[in-house]
Structure 1
Amino acid sequence: MTRKYFQICSLLAVFLCGLFLTEAFAAPLIEKIEFDGSDNNADRIIFKLNSATLPKTFALKGPPRAVFDFPGTALAKGVKTNITAPGKFIKGIRTAEHRGDQAKTRVVLDLLSEDSIDFKQDFNNVNNTLTISVFALGAEPPPPPVAAVPPPPKTDKPAAVPPPPPAARETPPAPPAKPAPAVASIPKPAPETGGARDEATVIQPLSEVGPEQATEGGTVSPVLYSIEFDRDAQRGETISFKLNTFNPPVVFGIEEDAPRIVCFFKDTAAGPDLQNLLDVNGRFIKSIQVGKYSNPDNIRVVLDLMPNQNYDLQQIFFKEDSMFMIIISTNV
């Protein structure tokens, strides 16, 4: 009996590991890059991807540039590496693919000036499209329009002609029908919503992540429930953000003075147990500060880093688990 139990557990472990490897190591790909300068208040760069891949973002001066690094991501054949972008804030888009142990694709936006500008990322998880908007600081544009679903194609077939009714028969008049009782529409069953867990959300090692579960349909307001830190992860220090839906943040770095990484969760409310400060005292991260804002709901998470280090940052979103993870390590 013990041997059979061990065999079943071994087969299950191999099955789960195979599912994880298929999901986690499917090569992320940038399939297309387009520039849209039609908006009077913003320039937009649209990335067509094959998965939910989010870039690391930072800015450079002299000349002014905005850099977007897509970790572990390759370029599809036919994607242009130099794109002319006659916009209001951008003059060109340059792309380069870096291979090796730290493979990535770097996209550089050549800016027209060093004036105060801001960036916003909008990810459409239906078609894996990432839209980066560049606009004047304090003048955030509305979200990019969603492409309309095309109508079904017209056919030249003539409409079907219904058959003629059968010949009328003389039948005795039917007794007057009783009025039918009013029937209320049957409401759809409400989805089961689990209450807030009492125990802390534990970050699983990547090798133990099993197959993703199906998600419930519908639109929900994003909520950030918890932030957990793991200093003993194999690939570096990890920060896990547990949400209730797919809502990746805008992530960018601040290199002046004390180095920091900022995660901005737009239109996201704070869960009741979300802490304002975590003194983690890790090798790379000193503390995690959480700013909660209302009207509208926004959350700003700041990771305070140890100085004098050359950091590498990786972003992973487990879409079906509504978990966003950041892995921080150093380039030795």
Structure 2
Amino acid sequence: MDGRIMMDAKQELARMSEELDSAIRSYIKDEEPNNLVEACRQYPYHGGKRMRPSMVIAACGAVGGDKDKAVPLAVAIEYIHNFTLIHDDLMDGDEKRRGMTTSHVKYGMPTAVLAGDGLFAKAFEIISTMDVPSDVMRKILNIVSVAVWDLARGQQMDINNENGEKVTMEQYIETIRLKTSILFASGAAGGALIGGADDDVAMAIRDYAMSLGVAFQMYDDILGIIGDPAKTGKSAGNDIRKGKSTVIVCHALKNIKNKEDLDRFESILGKMDASEDEIEIARNILKRTGSIDYAIEMAEKYTKDAISKLDCLKDSKDKEFMIALAEYAMSRDV
């Protein structure tokens, strides 16, 4: 990947995140009970890369639209994303996220559930305030509503995939398409519609974001195996310990030819107390099988597919950013 483009994407993300910050902080008013309001604010106010809301704004601009009109949808998509993070952390029992104490630990499980519900409700309240024609409003409400339903399906598939059953590559891709890609896609399509795009262009931009989301999650899976813990902030072996069905594991279980390697790998996969030495053994088996190289090739394939979907757009700074964002998605070290 072009290092200059990657840096441009990071810098532009930081700039857009800063510009969106005041809007993200403007919709949750001071009300009672105070602890619920604080819990609702915790995740979205803490920051993060904000790729999803930035994509809403860029998609609107890339089709020649007024980007200010896309800000409410950008905030709504960020709220929905954070609502899913609160519930994900609760389901996974995680105690830390982005260096902060997770919602269910800080505020208690009941308040965390309500905070997620509150962000979900706020998102649709915000969408209802958008200055768009009624037919565009209906399309966006449909796209976002279906996305939240698909998110729930993807999350349940992810939970089901941890029950010890072997997962096919097709099942894995469908899971991340729903769990990760769909919110990118709904935001991008919605931004394009706000910008005045016709349905064909909006769907091309949606397809761009779907492929980007798959590449993004695949690269996260790769970092979960071979990433530098000093940069990622998490152990590079935890996905193996949890027995997660990632692109790497799906490929390995189908392609490890040596029975001794297969038996050893399966004995380590899903072993929560696996030692660092055992993780290194599993990692070496994955390397010998070509599973890590396969995952990188797959992520690159989806990145190229994402970029190709933007051929329908005229050249612009926003289009350049969307291309750079796709390349950045699988060029990260964190």
The structure showing larger relative contact order (alpha-carbon pairs under 8 Å, at least 6 residues apart) is 2
Q: TM-score if structure 2 supplies the norm length?
A: 0.24
- Structure with more of its chain in strand, by fraction: 1
Q: State which structure, 1 or 2, has the greater radius of gyration over its C-alpha atoms.
A: 1
